[in-house]
Chains A and B, each alone.
Chain A
Amino acid sequence: MRLDDRITIERLPRSHEDEPPKSQILVDGVPTGKHVAGAVLEGAVQWNSFRVLFTTDDVPFEDQLTIVLLDRDLQELDSARIGGPYSTGTFSSLTLIEPDTIQFRFIGDTVWSVRLLSRPQRRIPFLSEPPGVHRRFGFSRHFVVSGDPKPERS
C-alpha cells in the first residue's frame, strides 16, 4: 500500500449550479475518460491492483468526503460518502496502516478508518455504517468505514 501521486482529477463542467460535482481521472496527467464524484482530490492510495480516491466537493462550508475504490481499469467497485447537512469537514492526517487500512481525519472529531477488502463482504443497509456515512442502497461492500464521530454541541 502506498500513496499514489500519479493520479490527479480535472473538474468537469456542470450543466447547472445544483448538480453535484464530477471530475475526470488523469493518470500521469493523461485523461482516462473515467469519472469520479467530487471536485478536489484530497488523497489517492494504491493497494495491490486497486486504487482508493478521496475527493471533496469544494464546498468549504458544507463539504462532504467521497471515498471511491477503483479496480485496475479505474472502474468503480464501491463508494461511500461522509458528511451531513449544515456541517463541514477538513481532510487531514492521511495515514497508511499495513496491510489494508487507511486512516484520516475529516469530520466528527474522530479518526476514520477505511479497511479494504480483497473481496466484497455482506452488509445491512443503514445499519452497517457509523453515523454520517452514506452509501448507495445495497447488500455488499468492498471496504469498511469505521469511526466514532461526536455530535455538535449546541
Chain B
Amino acid sequence: MSESDDRTAFESAIQALEAELANAGVHVTIDAGAREAYVRQVRAMAAELRAQVARGELTWAQAASQAQETRNAIMNAIRGRSTPVGRAIAQRLKSEGKTLNELIARKTIQLFGPNAQFTQLPSSAQNRVYAEIVKSAAKANPEVTTTMRRLSRAGRGLLVVSIAISAYSVATAEDKAQVAVRELAVTGAGIAGGVAGGALAGLACGPGAPVCVTVGAFVGGALAAFGVDLFF
C-alpha cells in the first residue's frame, strides 16, 4: 500500500470518527430536548387544568380525570419525538400505572391518614384529593430529568469536538472548499445513517431493545459515513 493510500485510509477513518461523534451528540441532544419538552408540557398541562377549575369550566374531579388522560397522551407524543435509541429505552419496561381510583385511594391515605376513605370525605376534602392528582400529573421524575441534563451537556460536548475536528481539517486543507463539502456530507450522512440504522434495528429487534438499537445506530452511522466518503 502506497503512502497516498495510507493517508486516504487514515482520513476516511478520521471522517468516520467525526461522523460517529456527531451521530452520538445529535442523538443525545434530541433526546435531552424531548425530555425538556416533556417537563414543560406536563407542567403547562397541570397549570391549564388548575386555571380551568378556577374559571369554573371544570370540576376538580374532571380535571383529575383529564390530567391522567392528557399525561399519557403527552408521554406517547414525546416518545414519538425521541430518537430510535431514546424510544427503545423508554419502551424497555412495560408500565404498570395506577388507575384513577388507585390514585384517589393513595392520595386520600397520604393526605388524611391510613384509615381515611375517599367516599366518606366532605366534598372540599375530596376536591383536595383531586387537586393533588392534578399536581402529581405535573411531575416528571427528577432523577431522569437530571440524568438527561447531564447527558445533554455530554452530547453538546461531542458535537463541539466533531465540529472542531472538521474546522481543523478544513483550515489545514489545500483545497478548503472541497474538504468543507466533504466534511459536511460525511458528517450529515453519519447522522442520518445513525437515525436510519437505529430505526431499522428497532424494527428488527422489536420494541424495548436499546442495546440492539444503539448498535444499529452506530453501524448505520459508520456505514453511511464510509459510503459517502467513497465519493470524494
Bitwise interface map of A from 33 to 49 toward B, beta carbon under 8 Å scored 1, else 0: 00000001000000000
Alpha-carbon distance between A92 and B193 when the two chains are bound, in angstroms: 43
Count of chain A to chain B residue pairs whose CB atoms are closer than 8 Å in the complex: 124
Number of interface residues of A (CB under 8 A): 36
Once A58-B136, A151-B208, A153-B207 are accepted as A-B contacts, the answer to whether A83 and B141 lie under 8 Å apart by CB is: yes
Once A60-B136, A151-B209 are accepted as A-B contacts, the answer to whether A88 and B95 lie under 8 Å apart by CB is: yes
Bitwise interface map of A from 17 to 43 toward B, beta carbon under 8 Å scored 1, else 0: 111110000000000000000001000
Alpha-carbon distance between A93 and B206 when the two chains are bound, in angstroms: 29
Chain B contact residues: helix, strand, loop or mixed: helix
Binding site for A on B (CB under 8 A): 35, 38, 42, 68, 71-72, 75, 78-79, 87, 89-98, 102-103, 106, 110, 133, 136-137, 139-146, 148, 206-209
- Sampled A-B contacts (30; CB under 8 Å): A20-B143, A20-B146, A21-B142, A40-B110, A57-B142, A59-B139, A59-B142, A60-B98, A60-B103, A61-B75, A61-B137, A61-B139, A62-B141, A64-B141, A83-B141, A85-B141, A85-B144, A85-B148, A86-B78, A88-B97, A89-B96, A90-B96, A108-B93, A108-B94, A132-B93, A149-B92, A152-B92, A152-B93, A152-B94, A153-B207
